[in-house]
Amino acid sequence: MAKILVIDNAQNVRALLGMRLRYQGHDVLFAENGWKGLQLYRQEHPDVILLDLNTPELDGVTVLKQIRSVDLKQPVIVLTGDTTLETKRQVRALGVSEFIAKGSSLHLLGDTLQRPLETPAPAMATHR
C-alpha cells in the first residue's frame, strides 16, 4: 500500500495510528518531534505525512514550511488539537491536503487518507 510518516509527540497517538494504518496494509514510519520528522521525510520519501502541529523541538507549521520549500505537492494531513480558525487558515495557505481535529473518528482518518492516495501525482515535466 502506502508509506505513511506520522509526526506526533504523543506516544499513544503514534501507537493507535500505527495499529490502524498497519492493519490497513500501510508501511508506517514514526517521528516524535519535528526534527526527526523532517529527517525521515528526506530519507524515506513517504506517500503521505500525518502531522501534528504541536510537536517539540520544531513545531508542525515550521515542519510544513520546510516540506513546502522542497515539494509543493507532498500530501500532508494535519492531525491536531489546535483547531482555531487562524491555525486552519495558516496551514491551508501552506497547502495541506486535509485538516483533522484530534479526537475525530478513526474512520474519518481512513476516509481522509484515501483521498491523497487515490489522487494521481502530477506528471513530471520534462525539458528537451
- Which CATH number belongs to the domain containing residue 58 in this structure? 3.40.50.2300
Q: In terms of Cα–Cα distance, which of 101, 78, 81 is closest to 90?
A: 78
Q: Is residue 44 part of a domain?
A: yes
Supply the mean pLDDT for the chain: 86
The boundaries of the domain holding residue 14 are 3-118
Q: pTM score, two decimals? A: 0.85
Total domain count, the chain? 1
pLDDT in tens, 49-64: 999 999 998 999 999 9
Q: Is residue 128 part of a domain?
A: no
Q: Is residue 103 part of a domain?
A: yes
Q: Is residue 54 part of a domain?
A: yes
Q: Provide the pLDDT confidence category of residue 99 given band limits of 50, 70 and 90.
A: confident
Q: Is residue 125 part of a domain?
A: no
Please tell me the predicted confidence (pLDDT) of residue 106.
66
Distances (CA, A) of 93 to 61, 69, 104, 119: 11, 13, 23, 20
